[in-house]
Amino acid sequence: MPLSNEKPDPSSTVPDTSPWIAFRHTTFTVVWIATVVANVGTWMYNAASGWLMTSLDANPLTVSLVQVASSLPMFLFALPAGALADTVDKRRFLIGCEIVLTIIAAASAVLVGLNLVTPPILLLFTFLLGAGAAFTAPAWQSVVPQLVPRQDLAAAVAGNGVGVNISRAIGPALGGAVIGGFGIAAPFWINALSNFAVIGALLWWRPASSQGSALPPERLAGAMVIGFRHARFNPKLRATLVRAAAFFFFASAYWALLPLVARNQIAGGPALYGILLGAIGVGAVIGAFILPWMRTTFGPNGLVAAGTAGTALSLILLGIARHAEIGLAACLIAGISWIGVLATVNVSVQVSLPDWVRGRGLAIFVTVFFGAMTAGSALWGQIASGLGLPTAHFLAAAGAVAGIALTWRWKLQTGAGIDLAPSMHWPSPVLAIEADADRGPVLITVEYRISAERREAFLVSIRDLEQQRRRDGAYSWDVFEDAAESGRFLETFMVASWLEHLRQHQRVTNTDRAVQDAIRKFGAAAEPKVAHLIAANFRQTGLGTPSKQSLP
């Protein structure tokens, strides 16, 4: 039974989420195969490191710290990584990062093979590999629109989810078998070698050339500030982040505690742990097959609610699991639920972001994702240490169900009615003075002439411009009414520099333009007048800094 009456919008720009549509594009297929190979190695490493830690120190909190060490770097480094993804060549950046990751993975394999690994060393290498993944995640996600056309974006996101979960299904089970046949060091070596597939695919791929911007790239610190500001004033992105945090915080429980469920509750070995992890992957692949049906039946918001309810059920089953069959059923349900939620929120993030800030917006999503996973893993590990594994799972299930109701008013996006392509309709400013790129701040004023009977409607509508301006890098936005002249209004906002204002011209989207055109109609008798005022540099003029007494 559907959880809501929400129906898919036929005008959506992402009408089909079937993952197989994306494979008609050769570049996507090649990169997809390479990432699946690399992810198989990563999941073998994850399974081996989790199992190795249960041998080094079986304390639940210590075991859960493996998940913490893996996800904490995403929380710490994703945002600067997103800023880099928006300001550097993504392909070269990914190649460099993957080479470094290969070296770190090989070093960890050497230490494991020499029996030199202790719990702190294992956590350190897990953290370093997690940091590498953190620096590459925004770039990987932001290149997806370069691999497929916009109408196939949802399919590509779903296809990537299938790839991750195929590797999740194969990797852990293969890791358990490899450990039994070749020793604990073998999965660590396979992880290092698997990265060569990704490096080769990136070297082969030649992205289509684009004109890009004639302006110089943003500086890292400024780009991060602008990214934060955009997220703060992008309500569609904020809604997605709220829904994502509410899910991942509670879903982290089964990721963090699954090694202990396999070892202590079910009394199995590394092969069983690998099979349980693989069952999550199998469930996710099944979920990818039925994803179009689930999306049509539930709609995006109902699908996330259904996935959260399914996750709660899987947590309850893991809490009572004393036999492998119950654990397998729980993991299959968890995998189906995971792909349904992850694919839906990922598409919602993608379609909420214009290209110029895509890397930073995705980085903020990744930060929220792994921040919730990190905090949740540490909390559920602590609860399991004090109250036991079943109680930790039951509390996480109850929290997940409560989260459905508490976050329902934040709605997810499908891309319907949103055109985030640059409009480029702002005319170039006419200058009578020299305006160096770094000169600023800059005050922009827009003068409107509004009749008395339209005053209230105008003031309500112009509030829509505030979030637009701030999303694109402005601050100190306000509207003033002339006390001496009826009907004269002045919209004002500031940007950090002249260069930043020129970037604003390139950030305005077609959706923004529609809002601006509607507001301009309030003063149809007179075209709004725009003025640019640049902060005067007193030192360069030799006038010095004015004193209070010299001001009028």
Same domain, yes or no: 37 and 147? yes
What's the average model confidence in pLDDT over 429-456?
A: 84
Residues 6+ apart with CB under 8 A from 229: 470, 471, 473, 475
Same domain, yes or no: 392 and 463? no
What's the average model confidence in pLDDT over 437-442?
A: 82
pLDDT bracket for residue 225 (50, 70, 90): confident
Same domain, yes or no: 242 and 357? yes
**pLDDT reported for residue 541:** 45
Q: What angle do CA 324, 391, 400 make, to 5 degrees?
A: 90
Same domain, yes or no: 399 and 462? no
Q: Considering the domain boundaries, does residue 253 fall inside one?
A: yes
Omega of the bond prior to 552 within 30 degrees of 0, cis?
no
**pLDDT reported for residue 46:** 80
Pairing of strands 529-534, 488-495: unpaired
Q: Considering the domain boundaries, does residue 418 fall inside one?
A: no
Q: Considering the domain boundaries, does residue 74 fall inside one?
A: yes
Cβ pair 213, 506 in contact under 8 A: yes
Residue 269 structural domain: 19-206+217-406
**Torsion sign (Cα): 293, 295, 299, 301:** positive
Half-sphere exposure (Cβ direction) of 122: Cα atoms closer than 13 Å: 30
Measured distance CA(273)–CA(47) in Å, rounded: 8
- For residue 396, give the nearest of 258, 545, 191, 552 by alpha carbon: 258
Between 10 and 410, residue with greater pLDDT? 410
Q: How many helices (H) and strands (E) does the chain have?
A: 19, 4
Between 8 and 188, residue with greater pLDDT? 188
Ranges 325-329, 355-359, 537-541, most confident: 325-329
Same domain, yes or no: 341 and 488? no
Model confidence at 371: pLDDT above 90: no
Same domain, yes or no: 281 and 223? yes
- Phi and psi at 102, nearest 5°, equal -65, -40
Q: What is the CATH number of the domain that holds 358?
A: 1.20.1250.20
Q: Considering the domain boundaries, does residue 2 fall inside one?
A: no
User: Tokens representing 36?
Assistant: 């699946």
**pLDDT reported for residue 2:** 35
Model confidence at 540: pLDDT above 70: no
User: Domain boundary at 383, 406, 429, which?
Assistant: 406
pLDDT bracket for residue 212 (50, 70, 90): low
**pLDDT reported for residue 406:** 94
- CA 15 to chain CA mean position, Å: 21
**pLDDT reported for residue 493:** 94
Cβ pair 109, 188 in contact under 8 A: yes
**pLDDT reported for residue 494:** 93
pLDDT bracket for residue 545 (50, 70, 90): very low
Cβ pair 281, 167 in contact under 8 A: yes
Model confidence at 247: pLDDT above 90: yes
Residues 6+ apart with CB under 8 A from 150: 13, 14
Cβ pair 292, 18 in contact under 8 A: yes
Cβ pair 445, 531 in contact under 8 A: yes
Distance, first Cα to last Cα, the chain? 71
Measured distance CA(50)–CA(256) in Å, rounded: 9
Q: How many domains does the chain have?
A: 2
Measured distance CA(194)–CA(313) in Å, rounded: 35
Q: Is 415 left (phi over 0), alpha (psi -120 to 50) or beta?
A: left
Q: Considering the domain boundaries, does residue 425 fall inside one?
A: no
Same domain, yes or no: 352 and 454? no
Which segments of 261-357 does DSSP mark as H helices, in order? Answer: 270-289, 291-320, 324-351
Model confidence at 542: pLDDT above 80: no
Crossing angle of helices 220-232 and 463-471, in 10° steps, is 150
**How confident is the model over 474-531, as pLDDT tens digits?**
889 999 999 999 889 999 999 988 888 888 888 888 888 888 888 888 876 677 889 9
Same domain, yes or no: 26 and 144? yes
Question: Side by side, which strands form the sheet with 529-534?
Answer: 475-481, 488-495, 442-449, 529-534
Chain mean pLDDT for the chain: 82
Between 308 and 440, residue with greater pLDDT? 308
Model confidence at 377: pLDDT above 80: yes
Residues 6+ apart with CB under 8 A from 203: 95
Same domain, yes or no: 290 and 348? yes
Q: Considering the domain boundaries, does residue 94 fall inside one?
A: yes
Which segments of 14-59 does DSSP mark as H helices, in order? Answer: 26-56
What's the average model confidence in pLDDT over 411-436?
A: 77
Beta-ladder partners of 479: 491
- For residue 444, give the nearest of 507, 503, 490, 511 by alpha carbon: 490
CB-count burial class (<10 Å; 0-12, 13-18, 19+) for 238:
middle
User: Tokens representing 478?
Assistant: 């306000």
User: Tokens representing 138?
Assistant: 């925004």
Between 237 and 65, residue with greater pLDDT? 237
Measured distance CA(126)–CA(108) in Å, rounded: 9
Q: Which amino acid is at 91?
A: R
**pLDDT reported for residue 17:** 54
Which segments of 183-234 does DSSP mark as H helices, in order? Answer: 186-204, 220-232
- For residue 263, give the nearest of 176, 191, 190, 333 by alpha carbon: 176
Residues 6+ apart with CB under 8 A from 498: 435, 436, 437, 438, 439, 440, 442, 534
Model confidence at 9: pLDDT above 60: no
Model confidence at 538: pLDDT above 60: no
Q: What is the CATH number of the domain that holds 484?
A: 3.30.70.100
**How confident is the model over 86-132, as pLDDT tens digits?**
777 888 888 998 999 999 999 999 998 888 888 889 899 889 998 88
pLDDT bracket for residue 144 (50, 70, 90): confident
**pLDDT reported for residue 415:** 67
User: Tokens representing 422?
Assistant: 């640059």
**pLDDT reported for residue 50:** 77
**Torsion sign (Cα): 324, 329, 334, 335:** positive
**pLDDT reported for residue 68:** 78
Helix (H, G, I), strand (E, B) or coil at 162: helix
What number of residues does the chain have?
552
Q: Considering the domain boundaries, does residue 427 fall inside one?
A: no
Model confidence at 11: pLDDT above 60: no
pLDDT bracket for residue 251 (50, 70, 90): very high
**pLDDT reported for residue 213:** 56
Model confidence at 4: pLDDT above 70: no
Same domain, yes or no: 64 and 162? yes
Q: Considering the domain boundaries, does residue 372 fall inside one?
A: yes
- Per DSSP, 422 falls in state B
Same domain, yes or no: 447 and 391? no
User: Tokens representing 515?
Assistant: 């809002």
Same domain, yes or no: 387 and 461? no
**pLDDT reported for residue 39:** 86
